[in-house]
A = this chain, B = another copy of it.
Amino acid sequence: MEHTRLVIIGAVASGTKTAAKARRENPGAEITLITEEADISYAACGTPYYISDIIKDSSSLIIKTPDYFQTMLNVQVLTEHRVESINSAEKDIVVRNLKTHYPVTLPYDRLVLAVGATPYVPPYEGVHYGNIFTLHNVSDAIKIKSLLGQRKVKNALIVGGGFIALEAAMTLITYGINTRLIIRRDHILSNFDKDIAILIQNHIKAKGVQILEEDEVKKFKADAEENVATVVTEKQTFSAEFVLLTTGTKPNIDLARKAGITIGSTGAIQVNNRLETNIPDIYAVGDCVETIHMITKKPVWIPLATTANKHGRIAGINICGGNDTFPGVLGTFVVRVFDWTVAKTGLSEKEAIKDGFVTESVIVPSHDKAHYYPGAKLIIVKLIAEKQSGLLLGAEIVGEGVVDKRIDVVSSALMGKTTIEQLSKYDLSYAPPYSTPMDPLITAANVLRKKLEGKIQSISPFTTKQKMERKEDFVLLDVRTKEEFDTGHIEGCCHLPLNVLKSKADTWDKKKEIITYCGVGLRAYQAYQILKNAGFENVKFMEGGLYSWPYTIKK
């Protein structure tokens, strides 16, 4: 093993991690790290925060330099070198120096593809104009920050509604720029359920971002300097001196495909759990490979830094003769959206249904810490379970309070195949500055458990709205106080405060369908109980209350 030649193509997260781990595993190996870029080991996830000036200096985003790898780890680093082909029969690669243009042939004993992904640029007319960007690496970020720093951009357009789009929207609003975001669908974050996505969307709109829903860019027009000036969409035309394209990324598979490496059903490189491709001694890691979703057991392509780092470690061990395996992903994900945190793990309800699960779910807002503790804030928890077994399938959690903690607990629970009942009895930490005696997750699990057991009848805001739109005959009953009602309510509702409900409701027709609602759901549930006990046969409470109502509120 001493003089094994290890060659790693790609030098961001997974590539550099592979090299560093391989060096620790095999002090004598000859390790070469090759990248087309000038920088290595940079924090791509930090770039939006650099642009928004939360991170002042672009050098902070460089985790390790080529010099560090060379002197401290004895890893040869070839920056601005492109690998043009892999000859797996001879076990060598052709590498071209992008400055001198000279090609060299480099032999390998083990080869690792850590070639990442590239932003997809849609073929819009005029997409080549100046000040139309993608955000992929530090040099993109420097260019964008420099442009925004000139304070000449008055109007901006973000194309796409994924998490980079949301981070970018937040940044542009910080710069005081009139910001539009255009999406083909009717909601952002296509991997989220619509009910939660619309809540986030409303929050972003409230922060000043205009969202152009169900619309698409047709073309860009430029000014005299060939910089973008105007955007024409299917529905409208407006000015924009800055455009960010966040219309997804594509795994970089050309090199692999040419070498005969199998591409999986997701379009990314296929590897086994040791991260080996179909060709002996060629591994692939990070954003260019597909992985297994631990719930569906199906291949998915979810390129994230967390996976890339774990991959690097595992590949580093395996290329040095060890044996480590990657179990797959849950797609756990968190993003800051203004003063909200937005997170997801496992399957959304629509993903679960698409995969054949019969689901039950619940939406429950709760305070993130003791409500009497200063700074306690609400979070909205959506839990998704398999109806028959009660097995937890996923969660989407959003809000101003502490969201990431709860999503990580759900992620951990998913690793252990947990039922909703088990989750409801988790021994989570509590002190007033940190949580509530019944953590928001436990509260949500308790409600969902009752739904699974058929003990309560609730309805989501989404389904309630559908019933309203179908003009179904039911009473939507606001049970909050007069003061709360007057600050805003759902149009068309009746109002009867909880404390007088029992006496008043006795005169009503017991067969009437009633849906109760309140601020966050607790009093609606109590009202539901009162009405059930009073003999009403067809009563439900609306989950999540007005706080989770994603539609307009009458003021």
Contacts and interface: CB of A to CB of B under 8 A. Distances in A.
Given A336-B433, A434-B334, A437-B305, A427 B404 contact: no
A413 B402 CA distance: 20
Given A71-B499, A373-B54, A438 B43 contact: no
A308 B425 contact: no
Most buried by B among A27, A55, A404, A431: A431
A61 B437 CA distance: 13
A327 B425 contact: yes
Given A308-B437, A416-B417, A437-B13, A49 B429 contact: no
Contacts of A72: 498-499, 526
Contact of A408 (B332, B343, B372, B405): B405
A479 to B, nearest CB: 12
A343 B305 contact: no
A173 interface: no
Interface residues of A, number: 75
A20 to B, nearest CB: 10
A411 B431 contact: no
A412 B416 contact: yes
Interface in A383-417: 402, 404-405, 407-409, 411-413, 415-417
Nearest to A528: B24
A127 interface: no
A118 interface: no
A45 B415 contact: no
A330 B430 CA distance: 13
A458 interface: no
B372 A43 contact: yes
Contact of A415 (B335, B374, B416): B416
Contact of A431 (B45, B60, B310, B405): B45
Most buried by B among A24, A27, A326, A333: A24
B426 A411 contact: yes
A427 B45 contact: no
Most buried by B among A310, A336, A413: A310
A437 B341 contact: no
Interface in A1-18: 13
A318 interface: no
Given A71-B499, A526-B72, A341 B416 contact: no
Given A306-B437, A409-B409, A446-B313, A27 B529 contact: yes
A304 interface: yes
A61 B499 contact: no
Given A13-B437, A409-B409, A415-B413, A429 B529 contact: no
Contacts of A326: 425
A345 interface: yes
Nearest to A533: B27
A149 interface: no
Contacts of A305: 430, 437
29 contacts: A45-B370, A45-B432, A54-B374, A55-B432, A72-B526, A306-B427, A306-B428, A309-B437, A327-B422, A332-B427, A333-B429, A335-B431, A336-B431, A336-B433, A336-B434, A404-B405, A404-B434, A404-B435, A405-B408, A408-B428, A409-B412, A411-B426, A412-B412, A412-B428, A413-B415, A413-B416, A415-B416, A416-B416, A416-B417
